[in-house]
Amino acid sequence: MTDTHMPPALRFMLAARRSELAGLEGLAQTCELVTSISQLVHALQRERGYSNVYLGCMHPRHLTQLDALSTEARTVEHQVVTLFQRIDLDANTAPDRARLFNRLAFVMHGLDELPGLRRRIRDQRATAVEATAALTRLIGGLLAVVFEAADTAVDPQITRVLVALFNFMQGKELAGQERAAGVAGFSAGFFDATLRARIEHLAHGQERCFQTFVEFGEDAAVQAWRAQQASETTTQVTRLRGVALKTSETDRVDSTLSDMWFELATVRIDAMRAVETRLAEVLLQHCQVSIRQARADLDNHRTLLNRLVSLKTAGCMDQAVLFNVQAVELDSPPPDGLGHHVGRSVLDMLQTQTQRLLSAHDERDEARKALNERKVVERAKRRLMDEFQLSENDAYERLRVSAMDRGQRMVDVAQALLDRVAQRTNRR
């Protein structure tokens, strides 16, 4: 029997299940995209690092290395773009997709400029600062896609993994930025106050990101991360960071430390990739399991409902008993035990489904809370952009600098700003 012959209550119950399944299938596509994006971010981080090295010394040996990394990045880029293009934009108009599509538009826009940027780097028409800025913006755009994916995922378990992955990627990106800042300082032989503050800011940022990752990450990924944290490389990076923070214009270090710092930071960052790969695997597994489960549930559901409906059609029970447990409660007991039992089971199915949907929703919201920090910063940034007609970058910088000046976390500065605005609005 097709769904259309079912009583309306049951048709809606099945439609709810189908919506869930459709949500999971859309999510699986997004997760595939995210996995591929994490690969691209890693490739671009490596390319960014060596672009800086090359632009710093222009040695042909570094150009060979850079070329190899660019080729690698282009291959992943191609995979990502292929996945983008596979999204059927006409069929895919679920309302929760608007923010994701908008982020993808940004990324496409950024990817379009990569060939030109690579040319300018090789022609030495871009400075290290410019090249870094362009690649950092693109990486930021890619991270924003992962963020939206985490913030719109329908499944609680998958949300947890995406929250873990986003935070890990964010932490790794801060490690990449710290590597660049460290190269700048060590090459100069010392870190001035601004650069020292930046290093501290980036180190604390990493700490918070990795904490959230540990809270939400899957066990094997977290263990791999803990092993890395206890490794000799990390110890050495931490030691060099300590050295950096003790330098000043009058208290310099040998500028050859720059190479050592770069090498160690690179080994550390490359090792982090293994954790991301593990999270991507877990993501894939969760998607597969959830979809398989949802499909099986839908089939079971349909089978059970059809059986019930055919019992009714065969005249075993009257509709009131079958589809209305409330009628069952109010009426005298039904003539046989079956009627009551079956009538209950329909309402039970409905109630179980409602409870399950609501619990999943709660759990998902709980996991999403870990994304709030970024949201608060974004909100404060928008507020500054509106109020002072700032660009996005300038607004971010203002927040960052004022956090550094006060020795506070960016999220606290952002929250204080939003609170002040709210107070002002209330006072009016």
Least Å distance, CB 226 to its own copies, is 21
**Which candidate, 26, 130, 140, places its Cα nearest to that of 86?**
26
Least Å distance, CB 223 to its own copies, is 21
Ramachandran angles phi, psi of 251, nearest 5°: -135, 80
**Residue nearer to its own copies on the CB measure, 25 or 67:** 25
CB neighbours of 154 closer than 8 A, spacing ≥ 6?
20, 23, 24, 27, 360, 364
**Residue nearer to its own copies on the CB measure, 244 or 370:** 370
CA dihedral 281, 287, 292, 295 (to 10 degrees): -170
**Residue nearer to its own copies on the CB measure, 99 or 273:** 99
**Residue nearer to its own copies on the CB measure, 353 or 402:** 353
The interaxial angle of helices 392-406 and 372-388, nearest 10 deg, is 110
Least Å distance, CB 100 to its own copies, is 8
**Residue nearer to its own copies on the CB measure, 104 or 175:** 104
**Residue nearer to its own copies on the CB measure, 25 or 281:** 25
**Residue nearer to its own copies on the CB measure, 194 or 319:** 319
What is the rounded distance in angstroms from the CA atom of residue 101 to the CA atom of residue 86?
Answer: 13
Least Å distance, CB 250 to its own copies, is 36
Q: Do residues 118 and 70 make contact, with C-beta atoms less than 8 angstroms apart?
A: yes
**Residue nearer to its own copies on the CB measure, 12 or 388:** 12
What is the rounded distance in angstroms from the CA atom of residue 381 to the CA atom of residue 393?
Answer: 9
The interaxial angle of helices 60-86 and 98-122, nearest 10 deg, is 160
Least Å distance, CB 124 to its own copies, is 13
Give the other-Cβ count within 10 Å of 427's Cβ: 6
HSE of 382 in the Cβ direction (CA atoms, 13 Å)? 5
Question: DSSP states of 385-424 as a string?
Answer: HHHHT--HHHHHHHHHHHHHHHT--HHHHHHHHHHHHHHH
Q: Do residues 66 and 44 make contact, with C-beta atoms less than 8 angstroms apart?
A: no
Least Å distance, CB 10 to its own copies, is 7
**Residue nearer to its own copies on the CB measure, 152 or 247:** 152
Least Å distance, CB 278 to its own copies, is 26
**Residue nearer to its own copies on the CB measure, 97 or 273:** 97
Least Å distance, CB 369 to its own copies, is 12
Helix (H), strand (E), coil (C) string for 215-256 = HHCCHHHHHHHHHHHCCHHHHHHHHHHHHHHHCECCECCCCC
Least Å distance, CB 242 to its own copies, is 34
Least Å distance, CB 153 to its own copies, is 10
Q: Which residues pair with 251 in a beta bridge?
A: 248
Buried b (16+ CB within 10 A) or exposed e, 156-167: bbbbbbbbbbbb
